[in-house]
Chain A
Amino acid sequence: MAGYVIRRLAGMVPVVLGTTLLIFAAVYALPGDPIKALAGPGRVLSPSVEEALRERFHLDQPLWAQYGHYLGGLVRGDLGIDLQGHEVSDLVVRAWPYTLQLGLTAWAIMAVAGLALGTFAGMRQGGTVDWIVLTATTVVVGVPYFVIAYVAQILLGVNLGWFPTSGVREGWPASYLLPAAVLALFGIPELVRLTRASIIENRYADYVDTAIAKGLPQRTIVVRHILRNSLVPVVSVLGLSLGYMLSGTVLIEGIFNIPGLGYVVFNGISQQNGPVVVGVCSLLVLVYLIINLLVDIVYGLLDPRISLAGRN
């Protein structure tokens, strides 16, 4: 087990290196000149300031040299500075908690709601509840995401006043519940349908008949037998969607004015700020890889027949 984890961790190094290079090249390839953009519309930087900035950020050098500077800094634990002179590591350290709170809250809401609704619908296949759940998930998938966010903000925030409309002034949980719930809606339909399908598949398995014949209580049958065996495919979706929840927050953070990573990336891209975009995206890639590893480990816990050692 430990050997397996170490091998997987070692495998992450080339992946992270490759992604940083790709993202770096993509930012480099964006049209336009980041230094010119710094002045804003209708203002122009003087040549001497442009030159000073270009030198500071090595923008006068070719891509490979810029990337070399970046890697050199990375080895020293220096993520570089953005065009306003802020340390990228500071930006990330400051923004990360907000994104983490938002993402984890959304993920928790999604997991609880998705599993409960899916199980319920699966056990009552063809019933009214099942039909309502199926229709509702279809509607949620069909309505554009930002529409749901704005409607929730106006309806629940402004008109009813149940939640703060934006910002993180009221801290966790008050400020995070509404944006997290909207973010959770993003993943719920898929989770519900997968859980439901999985439950239906396992409901009629032989071991369930055995459990019923043994006279086990209904709850035990559902939770310990049906649900546990249905969870294997569900766990991989849960894992991947955690990555989603942490990285797919750009839009939600914008609408609800949450100063998290999404905003940092958004700004980084619009200012063609290579170090910022690469720094944050690499972090997200790393998070994804680690979540994947955790998902694989949980597989083994859920189903002893899945052996990790043999899957390299």
Chain B
Amino acid sequence: MTVVPAARGRRRVLAVLVAVSMTVLAACAGKSSASDGGQSFAVGIPAFFVQNLTPGSSGSSYVDYAIWSPLTRVDGQSGKLEMLVADSIESTDNVNWTIKLKPGWTFQDGSPVTAQSFADSWNATALGANALTSNASTSIFAGYAAMNPPKGKPAAKTLSGVHVVDKSTLEVTLVKPNALLPYILSSTTFAPLPASATKDLKNFGTHPIGNGPYKTSGWDTGAQDIKLERYDGYGGTKALASGIDLHVYQQTGAIYTDFQAGTIDLALLDGADLSKAKKDTPSQVVDVQYPAVVYLSFPLYDSRFANPQLRRAISMAIDRDAIVKSLLAGNAKAATGLAPPTLTGGGEAKCDACKYDPQQAKAALQAAGGWNGPMTLYTYQDPTNEKVLQAIANQLRTNLGIQKVSFESQPIAQLYQGLGGKSIKGPSLLYSGAPYPHIYALADQMFSAGAPLNVTGYDSKVFAGLIAQAASSKDADATTNYAKQAAEQALTDLPVAPLYWPVGGLVHSDRLSGVVPEVLGGARLSVVKVG
């Protein structure tokens, strides 16, 4: 049987196709990167940690703290405030502050960190046109309003309340007294910017030149491998490990799998992965208390929820311990007040309604005149939240006899839009994280009238008075006490019912030691030791 020429031609076509596809595959096959041995370790992180490391867009993840060193730092374990780049931060009236810098701090390109570097950073964040996501945090400074008018062009390009006196002195004027300024300035949001950054802010987020213990040559969006190197000119206590390999994960599910396979040494886990890690290698898990609270937020603008007795009934009908134990596998603490104990002023507080007491809950419901019709509970799309919300719905049915309870989970943007527009007509399960570890931060952002995260419509003169006293106290203990009283006042009025304080865990390989939590969760990378 002879082979017809046409068939040969076709075979050639197929051969060419195969060859082409193989070439394509070979051409785009990436080079494998061997990890260098010695004194570096690998950390698994979610992609959003490295989306944008510009201070004004910082999410204050523990990677931010490796690249940046702000004026002050709060220790993740003791909660104590220390001076970092600042030598002193002082004020006589809590409005006008004088900040003095320590000498010898430099950026990773060798340029000095001066008072101007901090002013540049805060001005860049405050300028709305730069669209840096933490813009709102600079509203404490005088002159913010002029830079961010409700409509039209800004009248000023810089903050009038931030004044550079000389290389190492800043004078800062606040909009209103705030004793917490040294705490606020511990966030990487307020880290300094080198002069070169202001020219190209767009690329700076992925090619940051910081003043922290580690430096990086930058990365492309979507990069899976980011190398950090110890910065030897660092102005504080130098980092222990010579380098860190950041392994970036688009979805966090693979992080613990890779840890088990031995490709990463350190990761922050929660939920089911954390429970597995606690079972597999209990001695290699370090607890991390997030500075946050998960709570049920009531729509006070809806007349059905205006009666505090009804809110009390709902709050006391929820068995927080059972939710923490069975649903969250112990990866949380049942809330006994507003803020977790790791926050200054947090922990136990006077909060009667935070207790589980079905009897009292029923009595409170009767005192409120009962509940008629259906009730919808809301949360944003998140598997844990959805489980918790389902449990709450069941407990309300069982303990209060409210039969028509349904729940709805929405995309986060949609839910916050609805809350802002007062169109959400039921309790919502929400999360609130403190930007700095002080009870004042949580109380202020959740309960102060006009605070962007106050979505309940709560507006109390008593609370406002106490929180203002906290902010204008001369002495740190008085500040904490007033802030605690303010939080307790809010929990008496009960616009929200605190449910639990989420807990995460750092899992690390046995070649690492010195793994301790960083202030807002995660690990303090500069003190991790290899070997």
**Interface membership of B301, Cβ < 8 A:** no
With A47-B148, A48-B135 already in contact, the answer to whether A104 and B21 are too (CB < 8 A) is: yes
Pair A171/B433 contact, Cβ less than 8 Å: no
**Interface membership of A174, Cβ < 8 A:** yes
Q: Which residues of chain B from 1 to 56 have any CB-CB distance to chain A below 8 Å in the complex?
A: 1, 6, 10, 13, 21, 24-26, 28-33, 48, 51-52
Q: B13, B26, B28, B128: which contacts A52 (Cβ < 8 A)?
A: B128
- Which chain A positions have C-beta within 8 A of B33? 169
Q: How far is the CB of B414 from chain A (nearest CB, A)?
A: 3
- Which chain B positions have C-beta within 8 A of A94? 220-222
- Which chain B positions have C-beta within 8 A of A158? 257, 260-261
Pair A171/B30 contact, Cβ less than 8 Å: yes
Closest residue to A107 on the B side, CB-wise? Answer: B21
Q: Which of A32-40, A68-76, A120-128 contacts B (4 or more CB under 8 A)?
A: A32-40
Pair B25/A105 contact, Cβ less than 8 Å: yes
Pair A101/B224 contact, Cβ less than 8 Å: no
Q: B28, B51, B254, B431: which contacts A255 (Cβ < 8 A)?
A: B254
**Interface membership of A143, Cβ < 8 A:** no
Pair B29/A172 contact, Cβ less than 8 Å: yes
Q: Which of A13-21, A83-91, A191-199 contacts B (4 or more CB under 8 A)?
A: A83-91
Pair B411/A165 contact, Cβ less than 8 Å: no
Closest residue to A174 on the B side, CB-wise? Answer: B32
**Interface membership of B249, Cβ < 8 A:** yes
**Interface membership of A49, Cβ < 8 A:** yes
Pair A37/B413 contact, Cβ less than 8 Å: yes
**Interface membership of B225, Cβ < 8 A:** yes
Q: A30, A46, A157, A164: which contacts B411 (Cβ < 8 A)?
A: A30
**Interface membership of B398, Cβ < 8 A:** no
Question: CB-defined interface of B200-224 with A at 8 Å, one 1/0 digit per residue?
Answer: 0010010000000000000011111
Pair A45/B250 contact, Cβ less than 8 Å: no
Q: A32, A91, A302: which contacts B410 (Cβ < 8 A)?
A: A32
- Which chain B positions have C-beta within 8 A of A37? 411-413
The contact size tier of chain A is 35 or more
- Which chain B positions have C-beta within 8 A of A8? none
**Interface membership of A220, Cβ < 8 A:** yes
- Which chain A positions have C-beta within 8 A of B247? 167, 169
Pair B254/A257 contact, Cβ less than 8 Å: yes
**Interface membership of A216, Cβ < 8 A:** yes
Question: CB-defined interface of A156-170 with B at 8 Å, one 1/0 digit per residue?
Answer: 011001001111111
**Interface size on B (CB < 8 Å)?**
68
Q: How far is the CA of A46 from the CA of B128 in the complex (A)?
A: 8
**Interface membership of A219, Cβ < 8 A:** no
- Which chain B positions have C-beta within 8 A of A172? 25-26, 28-30
Q: How far is the CB of A223 from chain B (nearest CB, A)?
A: 11
Pair B411/A32 contact, Cβ less than 8 Å: yes
**Interface membership of B88, Cβ < 8 A:** no
Closest residue to A45 on the B side, CB-wise? Answer: B133
Pair A157/B133 contact, Cβ less than 8 Å: no
Q: B10, B224, B417, B431: which contacts A41 (Cβ < 8 A)?
A: B431
Q: How far is the CB of B29 from chain A (nearest CB, A)?
A: 3
Pair B129/A52 contact, Cβ less than 8 Å: yes
With A32-B411, A97-B28, A171-B30 already in contact, the answer to whether A42 and B433 are too (CB < 8 A) is: yes
Q: How far is the CB of A4 from chain B (nearest CB, A)?
A: 17
Closest residue to B294 on the A side, CB-wise? Answer: A42
Q: How far is the CA of A153 from the CA of B260 in the complex (A)?
A: 11
**Interface membership of A254, Cβ < 8 A:** yes
Q: Which residues of chain B from 410 to 433 have any CB-CB distance to chain A below 8 Å in the complex?
A: 410-417, 420, 430-433
Q: How far is the CA of A294 from the CA of B70 in the complex (A)?
A: 59
- Which chain B positions have C-beta within 8 A of A256? 254
**Interface membership of A248, Cβ < 8 A:** no
- Which chain A positions have C-beta within 8 A of B30? 97, 168, 171-172
- Which chain B positions have C-beta within 8 A of A35? 413
**Interface membership of A108, Cβ < 8 A:** yes
**Interface membership of B326, Cβ < 8 A:** no
With A94-B221, A101-B29, A174-B32 already in contact, the answer to whether A41 and B380 are too (CB < 8 A) is: yes
The 6 closest A-B pairs by CB, nearest first: A48-B128, A32-B414, A172-B29, A37-B413, A32-B413, A44-B452
Q: A164-B263, A259-B223 are in contact. List 16 more A-B contacts (CB 8 A).
A: A30-B411, A31-B414, A32-B411, A33-B417, A34-B413, A36-B417, A45-B133, A46-B139, A51-B128, A91-B221, A91-B222, A104-B25, A153-B257, A167-B224, A169-B225, A259-B222
Residues of A within 8 A of B (CB): 30-49, 51-53, 56, 84-86, 90-91, 94-95, 97-98, 100-101, 104-105, 108, 153-154, 157-158, 161, 164-174, 214, 216, 220, 253-257, 259, 263-264, 266-267, 270, 272, 301-302, 304
A-B contact pairs, 17 of them (CB 8 A): A32-B412, A39-B133, A40-B59, A41-B380, A44-B416, A46-B128, A47-B150, A48-B135, A52-B128, A85-B202, A101-B28, A161-B261, A169-B32, A171-B29, A174-B32, A257-B224, A301-B10
